[in-house]
């Protein structure tokens, strides 16, 4: 499945129709085969070949194919038609489409339109909507609510979410604004603010500051910060110390991941 993360796309699901006869089945009108073949062609970077199969499946009402097609068209610069297919799929209840539509609307500066779609997706468990919703709320000058979603992002067990959030904050120009808010709360002793601030600073290549805040977060009882600290140390070629913090996190994982 194609979903937007920052200005790029990632694939988060594989084809469910990989037997040799899928092209024949698609040609005979099997919608599952059309969708799977289109997906496989995207993976193979044969976008021009993927589009017709996905379009046929989408025209036949396949909700997932609509998401694939919307993402593909967006990648090809066909934003208006991409929005059409994402909206159809979102209206049918597909949470990935809700995220994709919300992200596209936000990218175009249509924050008020984006917010309800991202909220629906986030509340339904689509994790990347959490960070994007927070950024959209910043654009709407709802900083306090945005911060609550950033904190929620830091509590998920998706390792890609904080990097995506850091990227979106940087690209949207809100990084300094969020950093300042978190820093004030961290300095007031808020352990979760320390942890989120440290994780974001690590993504912004400010290792010494990140390490300091992550250590303070762990000392203040935020066990999950130990994992981000371990990763930071690991990436700094301090593997021995990193392993100690990985063990610390594992031993306290029940408390670390609420």
pLDDT tens, residue by residue, 76-109: 889 899 999 999 999 999 999 999 999 999 989 9
Q: What is the mean pLDDT of residues 123-150?
A: 94
Identify the H or E element spanning 32. helix 31-43
pLDDT tens across 179-234, in order?
Answer: 999 999 999 999 999 999 999 999 999 999 999 999 999 999 998 999 999 999 99
Residues 6+ apart with CB under 8 A from 90: 97, 98, 100, 101, 117
pLDDT reported for residue 5: 38
- Per-residue pLDDT of 60-73, as tens digits, reads 999 999 999 999 99
- What pLDDT does 254 receive? 62
Of the CA atoms within 13 Å of residue 5, those in its CB half-sphere come to 17
Instruction: Look at residue 52 and give its three-state secondary structure.
Output: helix
Angstrom distance (rounded) from CA 1 to CA 10:
8
Give the chain's mean pLDDT.
88
pTM of the model: 0.81
């Amino acid at each position: 499945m194609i979903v937007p993360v920052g200005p790029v796309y990632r694939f988060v699901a594989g084809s469910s129709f990989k037997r040799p006869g899928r092209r024949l089945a698609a040609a005979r009108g099997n919608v599952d085969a059309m969708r799977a073949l289109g997906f496989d062609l995207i993976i193979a970077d044969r976008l021009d070949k993927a589009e017709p199969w996905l379009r046929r499946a989408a025209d036949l009402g396949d909700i997932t194919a609509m998401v694939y097609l919307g993402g593909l068209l967006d990648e090809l610069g066909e934003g208006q038609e991409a929005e059409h297919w994402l909206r159809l799929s979102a209206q049918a209840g597909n949470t990935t489409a809700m995220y994709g539509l919300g992200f596209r609307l936000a990218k175009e500066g249509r924050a008020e339109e984006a917010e309800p779609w991202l909220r629906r997706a986030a509340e339904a468990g689509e994790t990347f909507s959490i960070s994007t919703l927070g950024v959209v709320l910043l654009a709407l000058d709802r900083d306090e609510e945005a911060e609550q979603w950033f904190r929620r992002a830091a509590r998920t067990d998706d390792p890609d979410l904080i990097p995506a959030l850091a990227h979106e904050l940087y690209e949207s120009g809100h990084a300094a604004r969020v950093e300042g808010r978190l820093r004030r709360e961290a300095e007031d002793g808020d352990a979760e603010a320390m942890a989120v601030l440290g994780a974001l600073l690590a993504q912004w290549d400010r290792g010494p500051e990140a390490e300091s805040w992550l250590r303070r977060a762990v000392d203040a009882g935020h066990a999950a910060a130990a994992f981000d600290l371990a990763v930071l140390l690991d990436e700094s070629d301090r593997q021995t110390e990193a392993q100690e913090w990985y063990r610390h996190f594992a031993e306290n994982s029940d408390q670390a991941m609420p």
